[in-house]
Chain A
Amino acid sequence: MLSISELTKTFEVRKTAFSIKKHVISALDKVSFFVEKGETLGVVGESGSGKSTLARCILMLEVPDSGTITFAGADLMDLTHNQLRTYRKRMQIIFQDPYSSLNPRHTVYYTIAEPILFHHIAPKEETRKRVIEIFKNVGLDEDFMNKYPHEMSGGQRQRVAIGRALATNPALLIADEPVSSLDVSIQAQIINLFMDIKEQYAITMIFISHDLNIVRFVSDNIIVMYGGKILEMGTKEEVLNHPLHPYTQMLMNASQGKFSHYKGQDIIDISGCLYYPRCQRRKAVCKNSVPPLTGDKDHMVACFKE
C-alpha cells in the first residue's frame, strides 16, 4: 500500500537573521518502512523527532531531499504536479490543531462539501446527502451544518477535520497528533471515532502521537522515532510488551507515570547513537558508531545493547 524507503529531509536554519552560516537540521534520516492495506501504523516520538515532517513528506506537502515514497504502485517523487494531485486525493491528513486547520470563513457544510464538489465525487444534487452521511459518521449533529469553526468546540472542530479528510474517500489517512490539543475527556471520544472509521472505511492509517497510551489503542504496528531516525519498530504487541530500546522503555515508563531522574549530558557533536547523551545504558561503542536497525520483521531495534 505505502512503502517508504530511505526518506531523508533536512532543513537549513540560520541561528539569527544575520547569520551567514546555516545549520543543517536533519528532520528525517533514511527512514524506511511500509504499511499494508488496512493496517494502522502508530508513530511515536517526542517533539522534534520528525513525526510531522514525515506526515508532510508522505503527502509531498514538503518535498523530501531523497528517498522514495511508493503509494499504490507509484513513486510520488517522480510524478508531475498534475499526476501528484490525483494521488493526493487518495491520501488525506488530519492536523493537530483543529483551530488552524479549518478555514475560518467557510461554514462546516462547505468545508466538507468542497472536496466532494471539486473532485466530482458525487453528483451535484447528491452532495448534501453525502455531507449528511459524513456528518453522521463522524458523530456530528446536522444542526452544525451552517456553523462556522469559531462557533464550535475543539472536539467538534476535529470531527469536522476528520469528516473533511473522509470526504474524498481516501485509501490512506494520516493523522498528525489528532488528539494532542484536545481535553483528555474529548481525546477518548475522538480515539473511539478513529477506531470506528478504521472499521467502517477499511482505511489504511498512519497515526502520529507523542503518547504511547493513545497509539496503543489504534495501532497494529508501531514505529518509535527520535531525532529523525527510527529507533525501534515492530508489531504493537512486540514493541509494547518487550520494548528493547532504552528510549522506548523510557517512553513506556513515562506513559505509566514513572519518570526517571537521570539527567543526560549535553553533547553537541554526536557521531554515534543520537540517543547517547540521554541514554541510561550507554556503552563506549555507542559514542562513535551508529547502531543499525536490526531484527526480524516483527521487531527491529537500533541499539547495541544486545
Chain B
Amino acid sequence: MEGVRVIVKNNLALVGLIILVPMFFCAFFAPLIVPHNPVEPDLKNILSPPSWTHPFGTDTLGRDVFSRVLYGSRISLLVGFVSVGIATMIGIFLGSISGYYGGMLDEIIMRFVDLMMCFPTFFLILAVIALLEPSIWNIMIVIGLTSWMGIARLVRAEILSIKGKEFVLAAKAQAFSEKKIIFRHVLPNAITPVYVVATLGIGGAILTESALSFLGIGVQPPTPSWGNILTQAKDNIEVAWWLSLYPGLAIFLTVMGYNLLGEGLRDIFDPRRRYQS
C-alpha cells in the first residue's frame, strides 16, 4: 500500500499508470470486449470508415480494426514482458556474477558484453529471423538475447558499490553462507534500478516487435499485431487514414506509458529522495 501511495504521488508514474492500466485491462479481457472477430473477413464492408459498428473502421478485408488493435495489444504486452523478462534474467545473472566475484570472470563477462553491444541489434534480429521461421516466440527470444547488456552492466555496477558497504562486511563477519549474503544482502539492494531499466526496456521491445512485424518478419498474418496492421495501412494511407492512425496511436501511447512509468520509478527510487517523506 505504501508503494501505491508513492506511485500515485509521482505525476509521471501516475500518468504512465493511467495509460497502461486500461490497456492491461483491454488486453486481458479482449475476447470479451471485442465487437467482431478480429480475423474474420467481411467482404461487404471493406475499408469502411469509423462508425458505431466499427469504431476504428475496417481494413482491406473488412475486418474490424478496433478488434484487431485490441488483440494486437495482447501480442505487444506479451512481447514486452517476455523479452524484457529474458533480458532481465540474463542481465541480473551475468551482472551479479561479474560484480560479486570480479577478477578474471568479470573481465570475460564484460568483454562479452562489449562484443554484444557492437552488433547492430536490429540487423542481428533480422538475420536470425531470416534463418529461423518468423514466429512470435522466436522474436521474443531474440529480442531478449540481444538486449540484456545494459542490465548486466547496471547490476554489476550496483553490486560493486553494495559489496563494499559495511552491512555486507557485517554479514560476512557473521559467517553467513555465500548464498545468503548474495541473495539476502547484496542482490535485494542492487535490484531497484533494474525495475526502471526494465520498464523502459518494455517500451523498446514493443517498438522492435512492431518494426519487425511491419517489415513482415514478425507476427505473421492473420494474427493481428500493431506492426502488421500498419503494413496493410501503408498501401491505403490515402483512402483509409483510420487504418494507420489507431494502431500507430496504440503503439505511441503504450510506449509512452512505459517510458513515463519508468521515468517516474527512477524518481521514486532515486537514492537522494529515498529517505524523504
- Chain A residues with CB under 8 Å of chain B are 56, 59, 61, 85-86, 88-89, 91-93, 95-97, 100-105, 114-115, 118-119, 150, 161, 164, 168
Contacts and interface: CB of A to CB of B under 8 A. Distances in A.
A95 to B, nearest CB: 4
B170 A105 contact: no
Contact of A61 (B167, B172, B184): B172
Interface residues of B, number: 19
Nearest to A86: B175
Contacts of A104: 167, 189
Nearest 5 Cβ contacts at the A-B interface: A101-B166, A85-B175, A88-B175, A95-B166, A89-B175
17 contacts: A61-B173, A85-B175, A88-B172, A88-B173, A88-B174, A93-B169, A93-B170, A93-B173, A95-B169, A100-B165, A103-B171, A115-B174, A115-B176, A118-B174, A164-B174, A168-B174, A168-B175
Interface string B177-191: 100100011001100
Contacts of B165: 100
Given A103-B185, A104-B189, A105-B189, A92 B173 contact: yes
Given A103-B184, A118-B176, 20 more contacts: A56-B169, A86-B175, A88-B173, A92-B173, A95-B170, A97-B166, A100-B166, A101-B167, A101-B169, A104-B167, A105-B188, A114-B176, A115-B176, A118-B174, A118-B180, A119-B175, A150-B275, A161-B170, A168-B174, A168-B175
Interface of B: 165-167, 169-177, 180, 184-185, 188-189, 274-275
Given A118-B180, A150-B275, A100 B167 contact: yes
Contacts of A91: 173
Contacts of B171: 103
A119 B180 CA distance: 12
Contacts of A105: 188-189
B251 to A, nearest CB: 37
B177 to A, nearest CB: 8
A56 B169 CA distance: 9
Given A61-B169, A95-B169, A97-B166, A103 B189 contact: yes
B170 A164 contact: yes
A247 B205 CA distance: 65
A124 to B, nearest CB: 17
B124 to A, nearest CB: 33
Given A103-B185, A105-B188, A92 B167 contact: no
A130 B250 CA distance: 58
B169 A89 contact: no
Contacts of B274: 150
Instruction: Please indicate which of the listed interface residues B169, B177, B188 has the most CB atoms of chain A within 10 Å of its own CB.
Output: B169
A54 B274 CA distance: 34
Contacts of B176: 114-115, 118
Nearest to A176: B166
Instruction: Please indicate which of the listed interface residues B165, B169, B171, B173 has the most CB atoms of chain A within 10 Å of its own CB.
Output: B173
A91 B189 CA distance: 26
A85 B274 CA distance: 35
Nearest to B186: A103
Contacts of B184: 103, 114
A104 B185 CA distance: 9
Contacts of A101: 166-167, 169-170
Nearest to B271: A104
A8 B167 CA distance: 25
Nearest to A149: B167
Contacts of A150: 274-275
Nearest to B167: A103
B188 to A, nearest CB: 5
A105 B190 CA distance: 11
Contacts of A119: 175
Given A118-B180, A150-B275, A102 B167 contact: yes
A102 B180 CA distance: 15
A92 B184 CA distance: 19
A22 to B, nearest CB: 17
Given A100-B165, A104-B189, A89 B174 contact: yes
B176 to A, nearest CB: 6
A27 B165 CA distance: 20
Contacts of A92: 173-174
A86 to B, nearest CB: 7
B197 to A, nearest CB: 20
Instruction: Please indicate which of the listed interface residues B167, B171, B172, B275 has the most CB atoms of chain A within 10 Å of its own CB.
Output: B167
A88 B173 CA distance: 6
